[in-house]
Structure 1
Amino acid sequence: MGDADSTDRSGEHRAYIGSFTSGGGRGVTIAAVDPKTGALTPLSVATAEDPSYLALARDAGVLYAVSETERGGVAAFRRTAGGLAPLGAPVSVGGSGPTHVSVAGGRLFTANYTSGSVSSLPLDAEGRPHGPARVLAHRGSGPDAARQAGPHAHQVLPDPTGRWVLSVDLGTDSVRVCAPDPASGGLRQHAETALRAGTGPRHLVFHPEDAFVYVLHELEPQVTVCRWNTALGQLEPVGEVPVASEGASGVVRAYPSAIVASPDGRFVWAAVRGTDALATLSLADGPGRPRLTGTVACGGSWPRDLAADATGSRLYAANEHSGDVTWFDVDPSTGRPHRAGALAVPAATCVVLG
């Protein structure tokens, strides 16, 4: 696949915002990002059905959007100066309710929440996915009968080397380490790391420099800190840290959603629904010892996704229920976000910068 700059011909950066069309969203909103202020200005909209999560292959200039529907699909778009151009029709992922998409090694991966599986699809030279999808089904359950009666894969993410692919399963309280199978084109399970029962792991993020992974839980406002062994493909839990201030989740239940790390490896931020907050974790004591230093209001309601810019100086929260994307300036010393503005985007679910 060819190369593409992270800016359009005018030099403006872009933000791509997914939304639930079944909840009144428009599809994928394309917005210009002011490099000085971080402000978003809407430019155009690309049609997609319930594009709840997006992934941008920057080098290829292709954006991928899952359709979080019962039949499950993924669409590809070529980036253009004016917005996005479809690269063919959406393709089935072979699973229902896909909630996450990622790309590595010429393949596209989706986590299929409803069916509890992960899928792998090859990409052609233009970046188009094509089937049939290779599907790896998860097995297991958890103690929360309402949410964990079976597997619910929520995220599938390659490690920084691309050698391994990690899938986070809310239903089984575990993270699976998989390896791409060159023979079948699918994923084969290499190992499974059990996390504390009933916590409902949702998303993880790798530390940008050290061998640590931070797993955010949806059913408890906690992050599990794990040591990551790239050579062996092993994930080892070493501790937990809260993402809600003491007593904050006692009145309103907290449902953490998204987690990001600063590019310089000094901070980790988490979005927490219910309490509608953004939590800041400092890594000043070391990457294996994050410490909650405070929370701030997310600027809306039900922050489903969170993104940091390339410098770590700004954060963007996609607030689903209030229908907006709020941006924050980050204090370079403390990592504390300060609200700077918002853009109305009905049923916003995801924001990707590039």
Structure 2
Amino acid sequence: MTDLSLIIGGYTDKHEATGLYFAQIDTTTGHLSLKPSSIALRHPSYFDVHNQTLTVISEVLETQKPTIQQYSLQNKQSELATEFSLSGSAPCYVQHHLQHHLVTTAQYGSGHIDVFATDINHHITQHLQTIDSQSLCSSENQESHAHQSLILNETKTLVTVDLGCDCIGFFPFDATEQKFSIEQHYSIELPDESGPRHMVFDKQERFGLILCEISEQLITLYKPQDKWQVLSSRPAFPNTQNGQAAGAIKFSPDERFVYLTGRRQNLIACFEFNKQTGESSYVFSTDCGGDFPRDFAISPCGQWLVIANQNSHNVATYRRDIATGKLEDTGYRQKMPSPVCVKFS
């Protein structure tokens, strides 16, 4: 079997030259090896990687001038391709939408969403739009903390996840203005102090699953007609005390299962997903192999799952049974400073 390649990002301090690492997982043993990149970007806490292009944000305050950068990756070497400034403060999410030639970010500190255009080589060419989520909050007492922004492929709708305002925003694309319409946008208001953090949609975009950080609920959306609505809600981590720190949510490649991490409970939970009804049924939870599982990734083949444990400064590897969704801990732990984002490349 051949090795699988990953990229792992983490918070940096003054002693670290980089927060981005290239990794290889030995598919015979599960052993993970790391090689530091030459990218000297402070706090590269989230990134996306497609077609040998790495798109990464720097999670710093507005006074420290946050940026989005792209690097061309060849033979584990990196060359800066583009760099643009970001609006607001503390960006925490970026996604590269290949089909629509767009890149979106979410700034947790200020609630801003930035939208960028890319060329045929998927390199950013210009900044298209900034959405100030704070101005769209339903209450003056709320403070926007945008935590995710993504674009639906079928309808070209921008979806925003706001942890501070407890809402999910939907912005249709205006072909005339070549922007996402604020005037035509609508929001799904979730219960107070839900704290929606991340969400995923199935490939057919019939259902959306939201992981709420504060309430630790798994909320399912569906679209019976023209607008998305809440279908159901259930505990994300059954039989555990609410730690108010749910982390990441991902589908398995075949979408038969959905996984989510509990950062206080130090576990990863698995639900079986019904593609016809959108319902999720709890299957199991298992230890994450460290402390504070901020992120994880499932290999495209579905046979491996890798968890980034921020507070224990390690990365854990698991074999995954495609048929049952079960995880087998390999026992390998790779030390790394504050890992917070991991993706197979």
TM range (shorter): 0.7 to 0.9
1:269 aligns with 2:259: yes
Distance 1:23 1:255 in 2: 27
User: Is contact 1:213-1:228 (8 Å) kept?
Assistant: no
In the alignment, does 2:235 pair up with 1:242? yes
- The alpha-carbon distance between structure 1 residues 344 and 332, as it changes in their structure 2 partners (threshold 3 A), is same
Name which of structure 1's ranges 286-295 and 91-100 shifts more when overlaid on structure 2. 286-295
Cα 1:312–1:162 change in 2 (3 A) is farther
Gaps of 5+ in 1: 1-10
Match of 2:60 in 1: 69
SS of match in other structure, 2:42: coil
Partner residue in 1 for 2:41: 48
Return the match for 1:310 from 291, 300, 303: 300
* Superposed displacement of residue 127, structure 1: 3.4
Which residue of structure 2 lines up, in the alignment, with residue 158 of structure 1? 151
Aligned 8 A contact 1:118 1:137 in 2? yes
Tell me the equivalent position of 1:344: 335
Q: Pick closer, same or farther for the CA change 1:12–1:336 going to 2, 3 Å.
A: closer
Residues 329 and 338, structure 1, Cα contact 8 Å, conserved in 2: yes
For 2:114, the equivalent position in structure 1 comes to: 119
Tell me which residue corresponds to 1:169: 162
The structural deviation recorded for 1:131 is: 4.4
The 3 A distance-change label for structure 1 pair 93 and 285 is closer
Alignment of 1:56-95 (within 5 A): 56-58=49-51, 61-70=52-61, 71-88=65-82, 90-95=83-88
Number of positions where the alignment pairs a residue of Structure 1 with one of Structure 2? 333
Deviations 1:65-106 (A, max 9, x none): 111111321110111113322214x31122211111012222
Q: C-alpha separation between the residues in 2 aligned to 1:134 and 1:235?
A: 24
* 2:212 maps to 1:221: no
Q: Equivalent residue for 1:4? A: none
| In 1, Cα distance between equivalents of 2:207 and 2:302 | 19
The answer to whether residue 275 in structure 2 is matched with residue 280 in structure 1 is no
> Displacement, 1:273?
0.6
Cα distance in 1, alignment partners of residues 173 and 125 from structure 2: 17
Does structure 2 conserve the Cα–Cα contact (< 8 Å) formed by 1:103 and 1:109?
Answer: yes
**Structure 2 residue runs without a partner (length 5+):** none
1-structure distance, mates of 2:280, 2:223 = 15
Aligned-residue identity in percent: 24
Distance in structure 2 (CA, Å) of the matches to 1:276 and 1:225: 23
Cα RMSD (Å): 2.5
Q: Distance in 1 between matches of 2:117 and 2:253?
A: 29
Say whether the 8 Å CA contact 1:31–1:43 is kept in structure 2: yes
Match of 1:187 among 180, 186, 191: 180
After TM superposition, give the deviation of residue 152 of structure 1 in Å.
Answer: 0.8
TM-score w.r.t. length of structure 1: 0.86
Q: Deviations over 1:257-285 (max 9, x none)?
A: 11001121211000111111101111259
Distance 1:117 1:297, change over 3 A: same
* Cα drift, residue 323 of structure 1: 1.1
